């Protein structure tokens, strides 16, 4: 089996199993280098590899860059000089290598904490949109495939312990649809220790005001830390039903992920310029 074929087969297998990987491809070279353009290497989340882009210290740097790419979902195009070890170069072949590193199968994750009416609706909607959805609740009856089928993970634990049970990365969007203030005081400090792309907390403005006061006085959190939390969660839609509230929450998550503004795309001037609504 050719080396590139082995890389591609490992890539297909990883995608079939839902495992994140990164594909590293040598795209340009100059001078004396161990591998030429087109050489490929697959890097798995555990750091193991299939194929090679040249071995040695340079390849280890590529592996590290690939792991970072899997973490943040962003491709990279590093260039490596292979001239002078004393200058920090990862080799002495005498040339330069540029490698394109592309994360594959790194889907944004939606972590729904709380499996009640809103949590259930949000998880179903998030899955439909295309997120990798993980559901957590301290009540097993609200966190299992029979109650909520088709999710990517079910974690039964206390909300404040969630960060010890699941990896939360810059590709993770956390929606805490929990049951009350005591839960918030354990959960929010733990979530703020992570690199989550989004942390949202359900509840009224009064509940959040009380939570902020307690988080500062009892947990020692700063105003800057607390500003990371989207609370009350969601966009203002005057939503009432669990599914409407879920739409409000997911709309805000998509807005944060895509860098939107939330402004209406319809401008009333369009109607006037068109001469009416007909």
pLDDT in tens, 68-82: 998 888 899 998 886
Task: Give the range among 84-93, 221-230, 263-272 with minimum mean pLDDT.
Answer: 84-93
β-sheet bridge partners, residue 153: 134
pLDDT for 230 equals 96
Q: How far is CA 275 from CA 224, 267, 269, in A?
A: 49, 14, 10
pLDDT band at 44 (very low <50, low <70, confident <90, very high): very high
pLDDT for 83 equals 64
Look at residue 268 and tell me whether its pLDDT is greater than 60: no
Q: How far is CA 72 from CA 99, 102, 109, 207, in A?
A: 18, 11, 12, 33
Residue pair 105/15 in contact (Cβ under 8 Å)? The answer is yes
Residue pair 183/164 in contact (Cβ under 8 Å)? The answer is no
Residue pair 97/26 in contact (Cβ under 8 Å)? The answer is yes
Look at residue 86 and tell me whether its pLDDT is greater than 70: no
271 versus 229: which is more confidently predicted? Answer: 229
Question: For residue 271, with 0-12 CB atoms within 10 Å meaning exposed, 13-18 middle and 19 or more buried, which class applies?
Answer: exposed
β-pair type (132-137, 109-113): parallel
Q: What's the CATH architecture for 109-258? A: 3-Layer(aba) Sandwich (3.40)
Is pTM beyond 0.85? Reply is no
Q: What is the pLDDT of residues 91-104, one digit of tens each?
A: 546 678 899 999 98
pLDDT for 228 equals 96
pLDDT for 277 equals 47
pLDDT for 278 equals 46
pLDDT for 108 equals 86
Domain boundaries of the chain, sorted by first residue: 3-104, 109-258
Q: What is the pLDDT of residues 158-185, one digit of tens each?
A: 999 999 999 888 889 999 999 877 888 8
Look at residue 42 and tell me whether its pLDDT is greater than 50: yes
Q: What is the mean pLDDT of the chain?
A: 88
100 versus 19: which is more confidently predicted? Answer: 100
| CA-closest candidate to residue 95, choices 79, 85, 81 | 81
């Amino acid at each position: 089996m050719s080396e590139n074929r082995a890389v591609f087969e490992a890539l297909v297998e990883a995608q079939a199993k839902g495992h994140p990987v990164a594909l590293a491809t040598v795209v340009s070279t100059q001078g004396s280098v161990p591998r030429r353009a087109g050489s490929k290497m697959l890097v798995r989340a555990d750091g193991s590899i299939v194929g090679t882009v040249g071995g040695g210290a340079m390849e280890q740097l590529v592996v590290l860059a690939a792991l970072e790419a899997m973490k943040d979902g962003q491709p990279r195009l590093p260039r490596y000089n292979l001239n002078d070890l004393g200058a920090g170069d990862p080799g002495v072949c005498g040339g330069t290598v540029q490698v394109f590193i592309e994360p594959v199968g790194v889907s944004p994750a939606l972590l729904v904490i709380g499996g009640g009416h809103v949590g259930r609706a949000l998880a179903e909607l998030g899955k439909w949109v295309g997120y990798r959805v993980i559901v957590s609740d301290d009540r097993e009856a609200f966190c299992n495939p029979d109650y909520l089928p088709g999710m990517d993970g079910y974690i039964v634990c206390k909300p404040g312990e969630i960060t010890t049970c699941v990896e939360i990365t810059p590709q993770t969007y956390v929606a805490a649809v929990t049951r009350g203030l005591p839960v918030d005081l354990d959960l929010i400090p733990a979530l703020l220790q992570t690199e989550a792309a989004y942390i949202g907390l359900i509840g009224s403005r009064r509940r959040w005001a009380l939570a902020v006061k307690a988080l500062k006085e009892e947990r020692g959190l700063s105003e800057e830390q607390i500003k990371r939390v989207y609370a009350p969660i969601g966009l203002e839609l005057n939503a009432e039903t669990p599914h409407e509230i879920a739409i409000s929450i997911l709309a805000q998550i998509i807005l944060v992920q895509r860098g939107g503004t939330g402004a209406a795309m319809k401008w009333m001037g369009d109607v006037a310029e068109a001469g009416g609504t007909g």
